[in-house]
């Protein structure tokens, strides 16, 4: 491939990835409010322990995230079809994000206010969740016959 065509192709892939990251982040903003709302309700109103409140908030936000990312961010890869297998894969891959989120929350809450720790934990889990979604859950399937 001609070097200039290769650069154009790389730029297209780069823009596509950037576009997905922006969509994922935008959905993440919505999910941040869902996560914070459920967490605040569970932690402050129902007085659940911090870890239980965080896991409950994560489950609700992760479910909303799966639906929105299937329909918007990864619409090409998913065909905008909600599938139990993909949902379970999304939740399973998100467990790594949940672990990063909860660990950050628990450690930081010893040093800063709980809701400040929660906001930092959400940022940490964004990085983990986008990576897992992009590389594992919604990766583009090879075309039939492309492998051999």
What are the structural domain ranges in the chain?
A: 20-137
In angstroms, rounded to a whole number, what is the distance separating the alpha carbons of residues 139 and 142? 9
Q: 129: Cβ–Cβ under 8 A, 6 or more apart, which residues?
A: 28, 65, 93, 94, 96, 97
pLDDT per residue over 14-32, tens digit each? Answer: 778 888 888 988 998 998 8
Instruction: Tell me how crowded residue 138 is: count the other CB atoms within 10 A of its CB.
Output: 23
Q: What is the pTM of this model?
A: 0.72
Q: What is the pLDDT of residues 60-94, one digit of tens each?
A: 998 999 999 999 998 888 899 999 988 988 888 88
As given in the structure block, the two tokens for residue 36 are 């914070």
Dihedral sign (CA 140, 87, 35, 50): negative
């Amino acid at each position: 491939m001609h070097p200039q065509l290769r650069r154009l192709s790389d730029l297209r892939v780069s823009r596509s990835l950037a576009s997905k990251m922006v969509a994922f982040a935008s959905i993440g903003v919505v999910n941040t409010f869902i996560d914070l709302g459920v967490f605040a309700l569970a932690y402050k109103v129902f007085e659940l322990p911090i870890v239980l409140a965080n896991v409950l908030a994560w489950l609700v936000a992760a479910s909303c995230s799966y639906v929105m990312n299937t329909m918007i961010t990864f619409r090409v890869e998913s065909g905008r079809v909600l599938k139990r297998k993909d949902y379970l894969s999304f939740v399973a891959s998100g467990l790594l994000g949940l672990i990063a989120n909860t660990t950050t929350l628990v450690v930081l809450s010893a040093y800063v206010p709980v809701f400040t720790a929660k906001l930092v934990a959400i940022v940490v889990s964004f990085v983990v969740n986008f990576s897992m979604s992009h590389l594992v859950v919604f990766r583009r399937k090879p075309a039939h016959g492309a492998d051999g």
